[in-house]
């Protein structure tokens, strides 16, 4: 290991990162191929930023992001969850993906990556330039991280480390400094296992390595801005923010010990398995107060309550009827429409009465459609 790499590694550890590696700035051909095929199939759904020609060009050629770029420093931080204490069974609870149990990971990773980058620039002679990204840059982060030796790509698409599993946030620092590469890439270790493919609740893993985001619960509950397709709603179960199914099923997760980063842990079990009646009743101010500093804040209230309504519909628990009936008067049509769907699923006389009353006053065409479908479900007498 070169002296420079030793120093990068020691400093990355000091900052709290679990893994660091360096790779040349050209994205590997087989990953670019996988990306192009993914776009060609339309698997990116409504994530237009993944397909915009200028962004595609940047993912293919990082020199368009940072002219003269030569190296990519990749970091990984574990967010592996600890076992949760029991939550009270007094009302239905939602399931939040464990990457969102703690603080927003961008807020934790980026300032530390800036510090790491500043150190690298200093060691590389002081004139190097860099750009640091977590998630939001036009960079194929998994591709570079796998090439830098941080893990292998699993059939669930995730970067998996044989001893740390795939509960890993990734970050990349592009720099024009010529840094000695690490590696070699770890060999793929999925073998004949297809547990992730079999575990996906919606069949989003259409085949090993192939993720159709349009069916992925992470996309449906976080990225999708409009209504969730009706046929997929029952398959979401109690998931209201992201999904961990394809990672929970992976045998390599059993070697991961819980994250050492306090900011990524759930401050209370409520963060991981929140009581749904309370969430359904949140107004804008309550939403902001409750989710300040969490990745869920970026989802905005309307989309969260859309997801909560679906989970309540799936709960089969008619005690949810009053909160859902109240949501039929929500200012946000997205919330009203999904509350209507949930009431149609729960059925019963109170749900029917609430739906009929809402039909009298509702003017939004999409919500009227939802009301009509829900009333057909409960038997409109
Ligand atoms: C768009 C996006 C999504 C979309 C689409 C995901 C997808 N699989 O494409 C949605 C919203 C569905 C999503 C979901 C999730 N995401 Co996301 N997402 C991204 C983002 C912003 C871009 C990903 C992208 O470029 N997709 C296009 C596809 C083609 O690329 P890819 O996913 O990187 O897949 C690569 C490999 O699978 C490989 N590959 C595919 N097939 C083959 C075949 C062969 C032979 C080879 C060699 C390679 C190969 O090539 C691809 C390109 O390198 C990245 C951040 C970033 N800038 O990279 C985070 C990122 C990938 N997401 C992340 C996370 C944590 C998640 C979730 C776990 C969150 C959750 N719990 O809900 C899920 C996991 C879903 C899954 N199984 O992939 C992490 C992944 C960390 C890791 N250990 O892998 C990232 C890196 C964010 C971060 N900075 O930490 N995400």
User: Helices 333-346 & 301-315, crossing angle to 10 degrees?
Assistant: 0
Q: Whose CA is nearest to atom 55 of ligand 1?
A: 135
143 lines ligand 1 (CB under 6 A): yes
Q: What is the pLDDT along the chain (381 residues), one digit of tens a residue?
A: 678 888 899 999 999 999 999 999 999 999 999 999 999 999 999 999 999 999 999 999 999 999 999 999 999 999 999 988 777 788 999 999 999 999 999 999 999 999 999 999 998 888 999 999 999 899 999 999 999 999 999 999 999 999 999 999 999 999 999 999 997 899 999 999 999 999 999 999 999 999 999 999 999 999 999 999 999 999 999 999 999 999 999 999 998 999 999 999 999 999 999 999 999 999 999 999 999 999 999 999 999 999 999 999 999 999 999 999 999 999 999 999 999 999 999 999 999 999 999 999 999 999 999 999 999 999 877
C-beta contacts of 223-232 below 8 A and 24+ residues apart = 223/45, 223/46, 223/47, 224/45, 224/46, 224/303, 225/46, 225/303, 226/46, 226/334, 227/306, 227/334, 227/337, 227/338, 227/366, 228/306, 228/307, 228/310, 228/338, 230/341, 230/373, 232/202
Class of domain 275-381: mainly alpha
169 lines ligand 1 (CB under 6 A): yes
35 Cα–ligand 1 center, Å = 10
Sequence ranges of the domains in the chain: 3-175, 275-381
CA gyration radius, the chain: 23
What is the pTM for the complete model shown?
A: 0.97
276 lines ligand 1 (CB under 6 A): no
């Amino acid at each position: 290991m070169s002296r420079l790499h030793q120093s990068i590694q020691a400093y990355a550890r000091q900052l709290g990162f679990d893994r660091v590696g360096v790779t040349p700035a050209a994205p590997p051909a087989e990953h670019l191929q996988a990306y192009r095929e993914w776009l060609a199939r339309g698997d990116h759904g409504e994530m237009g930023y993944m397909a915009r020609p200028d962004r595609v060009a940047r993912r293919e050629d990082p020199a368009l992001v940072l002219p003269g770029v030569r190296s990519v420093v990749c970091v990984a931080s574990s967010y592996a969850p600890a076992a949760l204490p029991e939550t009270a069974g007094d009302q239905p609870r939602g399931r939040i993906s464990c990457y969102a149990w703690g603080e927003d990971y961008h807020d934790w990773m980026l300032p530390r990556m800036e510090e790491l980058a500043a150190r690298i620039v200093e060691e590389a002679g002081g004139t190097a330039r860099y750009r640091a990204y977590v998630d939001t840059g036009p960079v194929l982060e998994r591709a570079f991280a796998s090439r830098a030796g941080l893990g292998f790509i699993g059939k669930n698409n995730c970067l998996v480390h044989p001893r740390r599993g795939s509960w890993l946030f990734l970050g990349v620092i592009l720099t024009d400094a010529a840094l000695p590469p690490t590696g070699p890439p770890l060999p793929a270790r999925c073998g004949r296992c297809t547990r992730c493919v079999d575990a996906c609740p919606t069949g989003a893993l259409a085949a090993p390595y192939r993720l159709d985001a349009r069916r992925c619960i992470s996309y449906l509950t976080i990225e999708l801005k409009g209504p969730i397709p009706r046929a997929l709603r029952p398959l979401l179960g109690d998931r209201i923010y992201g999904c961990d199914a394809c990672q929970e099923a992976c045998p390599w997760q059993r070697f991961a010990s819980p994250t050492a980063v306090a900011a990524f842990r759930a401050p209370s079990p409520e963060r991981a398995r929140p009581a749904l009646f309370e969430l359904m009743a949140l107004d804008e101010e309550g939403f902001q107060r409750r989710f300040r500093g969490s990745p869920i804040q970026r989802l905005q209230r309307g989309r969260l309550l859309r997801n909560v309504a679906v989970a309540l519909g799936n709960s089969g628990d008619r005690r949810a009827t009053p909160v859902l009936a109240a949501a039929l008067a929500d200012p946000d049509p997205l919330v009203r429409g999904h509350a209507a769907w949930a009431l149609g699923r729960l059925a019963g006389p109170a749900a029917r009465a609430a739906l009929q009353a809402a039909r009298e006053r509702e003017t939004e065409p999409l919500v009227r459609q939802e009301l009509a479908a829900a009333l057909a479900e409960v038997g409109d007498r």
